[in-house]
Structure 1
Amino acid sequence: MHTTTSHPVSTIEEKSPAPTLGYPGVAAGPLPAEKVADIIGMIDGIALRTRSLAHAAAEAAHAGEQARGFALMAAEVKSLAQRSAAAVREIKGLIGDSVHKAGQAEEERRQRFEERAKRWQRSLTA
């Protein structure tokens, strides 16, 4: 049984539109990672201020025996500042890794898309 198609290419294109670059799931605006980076900046600022407060409390503790409580407070505030700074560094690293992996995934997706578009174009000219 031999069949031929008499459909012009325009009909094929109407039934099978070319792939587009628009990704419906990608929203405009800041990425969640960018928002998290803003929050990290805020936490980093808090850690910096806490360190400054710890230094001020340590200076006050040197004022005399009456300020002994300030020395204990200064040590605790300094410890909190160090832990906050360490947490910020760790979070920055995790976000950096996530952003890098997301970039790689997007590049792979773009390459797959381009391959599909090329195959689609070849199928129209075949």
Structure 2
Amino acid sequence: MEIAAFHPWSPRSHFIAYALNSTLPFVPKNYVHWVETPESHLYSADIPGVRREEVSVEVEDSRYLIIRAESTEDPSRSFHRKFRLPGQVDVDGISAEYAAGVLKVTVPRSFVRRGFFIDPADVSPDTNFLARAA
């Protein structure tokens, strides 16, 4: 097996040098930071140059969090992200604030277990059960 020699002028060496010497990480334009705490899930996004009226936070089907920013003046500042909400969250307690170009969305956790109940009157007599409750 032959090992390729290192060439200081190759594109690969420039990329490695940039990655090692770079102090600023590359952050995409539509990046949303997510942090999980014991009480809630926190989403934050930098959306500079967008007015408060142009930002919307929606919940779809109690499963998805949608963050939108539609800039009427500059279409390049438009922003759209969709996240699947984790289990056991309080959908009614979601709050959002937008100040100084930063959007912060708080999704509180719900510690209430949601079970299901089957009314015995709704079960037909022909239903076969694998196990019976004691």
| TM-score (ref. length: structure 1) | 0.19
Higher helix share: 1
Higher strand share: 2
Q: Which has the larger radius of gyration?
A: 1
